[in-house]
Chain A
Amino acid sequence: DIQMTQSPSSLSASVGDRVTITCRASQTIGTYLQWYQQKPGTAPKVLIYAASSLQTGVPSRFSGSASGTDFTLTISSLQVDDFATYYCKQSYSLPITFGQGTRLEIK
């Protein structure tokens, strides 16, 4: 199975901050990497797919990048609505695996 190691597990930041979350795959996954946002009591929502493509309707302050087996989600200027938990997920091979999640909290 492909392991997805996500960091940090939690993060405190302020409105307006630039935030970066990383995910490392245990083997090559090409760009079969997505980022999801989940708010308490709701289903996850896709933000980024194919490592760097922005899902329709997602604000442009979200971006993704890839370098080998390392992937990054960046929020350029945090808004109140962005405080949530974020997960990376690989769909290169089964079983599909998720990162452990990053809980983004208000400082």
Chain B
Amino acid sequence: QVQLVESGGGVVQPGNSLRLSCAASGFTFSYYAMHWVRQAPGKGLEWVAVASDDGNNKQYADSMKGRFTISRDNSNNIFYLQMNSLRSEDTAVYYCARETSGVTKRFDLWGQGTLVSVSS
């Protein structure tokens, strides 16, 4: 079954760290760039970061640079988001998404999302 399944969310205190995982199955993971997108409660969608298909190129939204790190394990089909120095404003549902390439770029497969709540 073609799917992405996120895990690792939970409640964390401000300043602490959390690592999210996105497990891919049913497709050739190493063929696709992968993204993280987040959505604060009741708010819109915010792009977080992208890793190229081979993981060698990574880009981040400015507000997350220096605090968030993405990586991927193409042998085990897992995409990660390491979040450090968490703030209350990082509270959101975090989605991973697969991106098709070329001029027809789109996020054609999403995970179900995992909720991160930053609170003391």
Residues of chain A touching chain B, judged by Cβ–Cβ distance below 8 Å, are 30-32, 34, 36, 38, 42-46, 49-50, 53, 55, 87, 89, 91, 94-101
The interface size of chain B toward A, counting residues with CB under 8 Å, comes to 23
Residues of B close to A30: CB separation below 8 A? 103
Residues of A close to B106: CB separation below 8 A? 34, 46, 49-50, 55, 91
User: A44: which of B45, B46, B50, B62 is its contact (CB, 8 Å)?
Assistant: B45
Q: Are B61 and A95 interface neighbours, CB within 8 A?
A: yes
The B77-109 residues at the A interface (CB cut-off 8 A) are 95, 97, 99-100, 103-108
Residues of B close to A53: CB separation below 8 A? 104
Residues of B close to A87: CB separation below 8 A? 44-45
Q: Are A45 and B110 interface neighbours, CB within 8 A?
A: yes
What 6 pairs across the A-B complex have the smallest Cβ distances? Answer: A43-B110, A49-B106, A96-B47, A91-B105, A98-B45, A101-B44
- Is chain A's binding surface mostly helix, strand, loop or mixed? loop
Q: Are A100 and B62 interface neighbours, CB within 8 A?
A: no
Q: Are A94 and B105 interface neighbours, CB within 8 A?
A: no
User: A94: which of B59, B95, B108, B110 is its contact (CB, 8 Å)?
Assistant: B59
Residues of B close to A45: CB separation below 8 A? 110
* B112 within 8 A of partner (CB): yes
Residues of chain B touching chain A, judged by Cβ–Cβ distance below 8 Å, are 35, 44-47, 50, 59, 61-62, 95, 97, 99-100, 103-108, 110-113
Q: Are B107 and A44 interface neighbours, CB within 8 A?
A: yes
User: A31: which of B35, B99, B103 is its contact (CB, 8 Å)?
Assistant: B103
Q: Are B47 and A34 interface neighbours, CB within 8 A?
A: no
Residues of A close to B47: CB separation below 8 A? 95-98
Q: Are A34 and B44 interface neighbours, CB within 8 A?
A: no
Residues of A close to B61: CB separation below 8 A? 95
